Amino acid sequence: TTSPGASPERLPFSTVTLEDLDFFRRILPGRTITDPDLLESCNVDWLKSVRGSSEVLLRPQTTQEVSQILSYCNSRNLAVNTQGGNTGLVGGSVPVYDEIVLSTALMNKILSFDSISGVLTCQAGCVLEHLSVYLEQRDHIMPLDLGAKGSCHIGGNVATNAGGLRLLRYGSLHGTVLGVETVLADGQVLDCLSTLRKDNTGYDLKQLFIGSEGTLGVITAVSVLCPRKSKSVHVMFLGCETFDQLLKTFQLCRGMLGEILSAFEFLDSECMRLLNTHLKLDNPISDCPFYMVIETSGSDARHDEEKLHNFLEEAMTSSLVSDGTLATEESKAKALWSMRERVTEALRHDGFNYKYDVSLPVETIYQLVTDMRAHLGGQAKSVVGYGHMGDGNLHLNITSPTKDAKLLAAIEPFVYEWTSARRGSVSAEHGLGLKKRNYIYYSKSSRAVAVMAGIKAMLDPRGILNPYKTLPDRLL
């Protein structure tokens, strides 16, 4: 039997011929790439854990060009892998075999911004950080923020339904994305690019594409509801002794900072060790078993500071928090945020990464890290826990010097069974991609998976869009 994580067999798609290349060069002159050196980076994922062997990279600039590409590929039975910033963590963004890579990198135009409603409409290839800078100049912010902001595209964010560091405050993209324009597998353009807050004219089709990981259509443009930039932003970096204290501090925060709380993130001391070792980042406070990054965003600095002062006093006198620092100035706030945002990068330097992204009832999230450490004994190099505490989302990461099949067999299916037994999700925010596709049944019923497969068959009958991803190899 093959392991659930193993690569599936290549499906009987056509292979790219010289005539196909002629066609692509005609519609995308100078933007049909076949140079192996240029193809190298789009065949390998960010974690350098999976590698495809595509020989063609297409760089369209318009929806019409995407439509022409898909219409042609569908008629020729050529498989297509849509790629944004290639920062995905589940092997979904790179080809498995020789799928054509369709990059959104040149679809990077902002189409409109309405400062009254706060609705931004842009092409799918806009880099998240560029959108954030554009909006900040207009007194607004993006409703999402993540460590990969410098590379990831908004289309990739929508395709993965990325969560990130602000979800606690602004909710998921299922709420903040108001419209999506998609090109379907046969080249038809599905225009659901609404900018309305409310629209109950039947099924909300755009929701299907949010989190569909490139398997149902190519997202070419989106409209996003953007909040106003807060006048007063504060970031605290606090340390505590136990996970129970972390939980109690979270509860205290919700009670005392309620309406101004905009993020509540955590990391453990093992993450801190990796930040020190691999990125030379110094701990801004004294050593503790757990750390929190807490952000508040409000409209009145005096009011917010008074609240923060009362919260800190209560947290210290009730001995929940052992040490901490508070930043108002932007550069210091950024430095504190990097202690949380750069854990992913530190882990990549530590060796081969086994990444788990689960959501669970918040009070149980760290027990998985403790149980995993006990279960593995000394087999792993590092076992670390961090994540979006406010969303009940744990990132459990394990490393070994090189890829180690014996260690993997000790981790899986243990981690999935543990999560499933508590009715958690085996992918809280990263999606399923190639790596997690066969673990879907730990979190979804076979009926639900069959409905997903039916939708896929309806929208992409030949299965050319991101094959081998998201859906499991077998229906139960």
Residue 395: contacted member of ligand FAD, ligand MLT, none (CB under 5 to 8 Å, by partner type): ligand MLT
* Strand pairing report for 110-114 and 100-103: unpaired
Site for ligand FAD in 41-80 (CB under 6 A): 46
**CB atoms near residue 282 (< 10 Å):** 10
Tokens 């005539």 correspond to 19
Residue 211: contacted member of ligand FAD, ligand MLT, none (CB under 5 to 8 Å, by partner type): none
Q: Cβ 325 to ligand MLT, closest distance in Å?
A: 21
Residue 155: contacted member of ligand MLT, ligand FAD, none (CB under 5 to 8 Å, by partner type): ligand FAD
Q: Cβ 401 to ligand MLT, closest distance in Å?
A: 19
Per-position x/- string for 65-104, each x denoting binding to ligand MLT as judged by CB under 6 A, each - no binding = ----------------------------------------
Binding residues with ligand MLT: total (CB under 6 A): 5
Q: Which of 160, 249 has the CB closer to ligand FAD?
A: 160
Give yes or no for a contact between 257 and 147, defined as CB atoms under 8 angstroms apart: no
**For ligand FAD, which stretch binds (CB under 6 A), given 26-34, 88-96, 362-370, 417-425?**
88-96
Q: DSSP assignment of 102-130, as one string?
A: EE-TT---EEEEETTTTEEEEETT-BHHH
Angle, helices 343-350/269-279, rounded to nearest 10 degrees:
70
Alpha-carbon torsion (17, 19, 23, 26), positive or negative = positive
Give yes or no for a contact between 30 and 112, defined as CB atoms under 8 angstroms apart: no
Site for ligand FAD in 421-450 (CB under 6 A): 429-430, 433
Residue 49: contacted member of ligand MLT, ligand FAD, none (CB under 5 to 8 Å, by partner type): none
Q: Cβ 128 to ligand FAD, closest distance in Å?
A: 8
Question: First-to-last CA distance in the chain?
Answer: 16
Q: Which of 324, 433 has the CB closer to ligand FAD?
A: 433
Give yes or no for a contact between 57 and 33, defined as CB atoms under 8 angstroms apart: yes
Q: Which residue in 60, 164, 324, 424 binds ligand FAD (CB under 6 A)?
A: 164
Q: CA–CA separation, 158 vs 228, rounded Å?
A: 21
Q: DSSP assignment of 5-48, as one string?
A: TSPPPPP------HHHHHHHHHHSTT-EE--HHHHHHHHB-TTS
Give yes or no for a contact between 145 and 164, defined as CB atoms under 8 angstroms apart: yes
Residue 84: contacted member of ligand MLT, ligand FAD, none (CB under 5 to 8 Å, by partner type): ligand FAD
- Judged on CB neighbours under 10 Å (0-12, 13-18, 19+), 17 is exposed
Q: Which of 95, 298 has the CB closer to ligand FAD?
A: 95
Q: Cβ 272 to ligand MLT, closest distance in Å?
A: 14
Q: Which of 166, 395 has the CB closer to ligand MLT?
A: 395
Contact between 153 and ligand MLT by CB under 6 A: the answer reads: no
Q: Which among 390, 372, 356 is positioned nearest to 246, based on CA atoms?
A: 390
Q: Which of 46, 311 has the CB closer to ligand FAD?
A: 46
For residue 268, what is the DSSP state? Answer: E
Q: Cβ 374 to ligand MLT, closest distance in Å?
A: 22
Asked, as a colleague might, if the bond just before 4 is cis with ω within 30 of 0, I would say no
In one-letter notation, the amino acid at residue 52 is G
Contact between 211 and ligand FAD by CB under 6 A: the answer reads: no
Q: Cβ 147 to ligand MLT, closest distance in Å?
A: 5
Site for ligand MLT in 393-422 (CB under 6 A): 395
Alpha-carbon torsion (328, 330, 332, 336), positive or negative = positive
Tell me if residue 431 falls in helix, strand or coil: coil
Q: Which of 101, 315 has the CB closer to ligand FAD?
A: 101
Per-position x/- string for 309-348, each x denoting binding to ligand MLT as judged by CB under 6 A, each - no binding = ----------------------------------xx----
Q: CA–CA separation, 165 vs 170, rounded Å?
A: 10
Residue 87: contacted member of ligand MLT, ligand FAD, none (CB under 5 to 8 Å, by partner type): ligand FAD
Q: Which residue in 153, 234, 355, 462 binds ligand FAD (CB under 6 A)?
A: 153
Residue 104: contacted member of ligand MLT, ligand FAD, none (CB under 5 to 8 Å, by partner type): ligand FAD
Rg (C-alpha) for the chain, rounded Å, is: 23
Q: Which of 52, 163 has the CB closer to ligand MLT?
A: 163
Q: DSSP assignment of 190-247, as one string?
A: EEE----S---SS--THHHHTT-TTSS-EEEEEEEE-PBPPSEEEEEEEEES-HHHHH
Q: Which residue in 32, 67, 93, 443 binds ligand FAD (CB under 6 A)?
A: 93
List residues binding ligand FAD (CB under 6 A): 46, 81-89, 92-93, 104, 124, 146-148, 152-153, 155-157, 159-160, 162-164, 213-214, 218-219, 344, 429-430, 433, 466, 469
List residues binding ligand MLT (CB under 6 A): 147, 343-344, 357, 395
